[in-house]
Amino acid sequence: MTPELRVQADEAILAGRRRRGFTLTRAAVDFVGHPSPWLIGAVFVAATTARVVAGDWQLSDAWLPLLMVAAFPFSEWTVHTAILHWRPKRWGRFTIDPLLARKHREHHADPRDVPLVFIPWQALLWVLAAFTAVGLLAFPRLALGLTFLVVLGALGLCYEWTHYLIHSDYRPRTRLYRAVWRNHRLHHYRNEHYWFTVTTAGTADRILGTYADPQTVPPSPTAKALHSP
């Protein structure tokens, strides 16, 4: 099936059709068949094990996770707008066009191509290595740095699972997930300049000016072809 036909099929699902029998269990089986959940999960398990062994529990191990969870929608928004929607730039004879931005353009062109839903493993390797270095070296206590890595791993898995589920054939059954599902679908199918958060709806977007009534936002001709004229 061509990307164009896959996009049309996805829009048909968005209009109300349903693939019968696609349950959360089926989604979970498909989810763990991709590299990024395993890479992020390995960091999460290793960090959790090390954190339990390290001990040294203090009050900061309680407020740091709360701070990270509160900041996460803004982190999503920033990464989405500044890195994933990066417009290729010429610098002399060179073009600056990172892998994450290239893969994200492909994801917009064909939202039903499941491997493109996930963070590319090539980029994820160095991202996880960089954050691991931050956790081990940048905190006043090793135990607190491990807490940081545990929460980071949990948030990473939450992001990948939510993003995958939104693009799968699993349909919303709760009001909360329906809002998250709709928010990201609008970003792909109505206008790529709005609705940048993935795991929440109407949080960072409201504060940062990219949440709008869909009826007031015109459909974008470049939602599936980012940065096209």
Domain span including residue 62: 3-15+23-216
Cβ 36 vs Cβ 124: under 8 Å: yes
Cβ 56 vs Cβ 143: under 8 Å: yes
Please indicate, yes or no, if residue 223 is contained in any of the structural domains. no
Long-range contacts: 136-142, Cβ < 8 Å, 24+?
A: 141/56, 141/58, 141/60, 142/54, 142/56
Please indicate, yes or no, if residue 97 is contained in any of the structural domains. yes
- Overall number of domains in the chain: 1
The token duo for 195 is: 């609705």
The token duo for 75 is: 């982190």
Please indicate, yes or no, if residue 221 is contained in any of the structural domains. no
Please indicate, yes or no, if residue 96 is contained in any of the structural domains. yes
Cβ 143 vs Cβ 60: under 8 Å: no
Residue with tokens 């999960």: 41
Identify the pLDDT of residue 9.
63
- Give the separation between CA 10 and CA 123, rounded to whole angstroms: 27
Please indicate, yes or no, if residue 226 is contained in any of the structural domains. no
The token duo for 104 is: 């994200």
One pLDDT digit (tens) per residue for the chain, 229 residues: 554 555 556 656 655 555 567 899 999 999 999 999 999 999 999 999 999 999 999 999 999 999 999 999 999 999 999 999 999 998 888 899 999 999 999 999 999 999 999 999 999 999 999 999 999 999 999 999 999 999 999 999 999 999 999 999 998 889 999 999 999 999 999 999 999 999 999 899 999 999 999 999 999 999 999 988 7
- Give the containing element (helix H, strand E) for 109: helix 99-109
The token duo for 67 is: 């701070």
* Eight-class DSSP state of 229: -
